[in-house]
A and B are shown apart, each in its own frame.
Chain A
Amino acid sequence: MKVACEGAFGRRAQRRLKSESVVWLTSIDDLGRPQPRVVWFHWDGTELLICSQPKAGKVRQIATRPHVAMHFNADAHGNDVVVLLGEARLASRVPPERLKAYLRKYRSGIADLEMTPESFVEEYSVPILVRPTTLRGF
């Protein structure tokens, strides 16, 4: 199912998916605990692409429990809330142009890590794709 981003709220969600540089990704660990962390992502209108180190907790967690939640920071008062529920999967590979778009988005972020796009892809070698199924917020 493709999540419908319609109306004023849906447009705001789309705008944030396009413009924000980080999103909170929460998966569930082996003990049933929600584990939130901040990740870089690229949104193509259908799915979020996240690149992970192979040994990261999220890779293990998503392999067995694909249900995840994503949200952007709220404002200081707890307004401007955009939460997406979705299904995450480990993708063995992603189309090169998609990966290029991700690397373009984080060109300066990767440089700040003192990495090159090549060394970044080598270290963050596991692509994760998340398909949102539910959008909520206000």
Chain B
Amino acid sequence: MAVEFTGAFGRRVQRKWRQEQVIWMTTVDAHGRPQPRPVWFHWSGKDILIFSPPKAAKIRQIAKNPRTSIHFNADKAGTDVVVLLGEARRVGQVPSDRRAAYLRRYRRNMKDPATFQARFSEPIVFRPRTLRGH
């Protein structure tokens, strides 16, 4: 079932997909510990695309346990909270227009897209199942 982004809260989340540069991705390691880190992302309207170095811990972690949570930074007071739960998986390939959209989003942050793609060569797709926040 797809998550619906409706109402005032849903619209706020939609805005964040466009405006925010990073999201926090939390996976679970082999010891059962949550492991959060901020990542660059591209939201398609249905799922999140992330690129990772092949040897990154998150690759090992999602291979064993795909259950992942995603959230944006909150504000200083902790009132603007958006959390998504879902599954993250390696996908091997991404459609070239999707890859291009990701690279376009971060073109100012990359010295050179080719170097970035060589290093961050593993596409991961996160599909949200649950949305919560306030």
Contact = CB atoms under 8 A, between A and B. Distances in A.
B21 A78 contact: yes
Contacts of A65: 32
Contacts, number: 91
B71 A69 contact: no
A65 B24 CA distance: 21
A26 B22 contact: no
B26 A34 contact: yes
Contacts of B14: none
Contact of B74 (A24, A28, A31, A68): A24
Interface in A18-73: 21-22, 24, 26-28, 31-40, 65, 67-69, 71, 73
Contacts of B83: 36-37
A32 B36 CA distance: 15
Given A34-B68, A74-B38, A78-B40, A21 B78 contact: yes
Interface centre among B24, B68, B81 (most CB of A within 10 A): B24
A24 B35 CA distance: 12
A9 to B, nearest CB: 16
Interface residues of B, number: 32
Nearest to A75: B73
Contact of B28 (A34, A36, A81, A109): A34
A24 B20 CA distance: 18
Interface of B: 20-22, 24, 26-28, 31-40, 65, 67-69, 71, 73-78, 81, 83, 85, 109
27 contacts: A22-B74, A24-B36, A24-B74, A28-B34, A31-B67, A32-B28, A32-B65, A32-B67, A33-B69, A34-B34, A35-B69, A35-B85, A36-B69, A36-B83, A38-B81, A65-B32, A67-B33, A68-B33, A69-B33, A73-B75, A74-B22, A74-B38, A74-B73, A78-B39, A81-B38, A83-B36, A85-B33
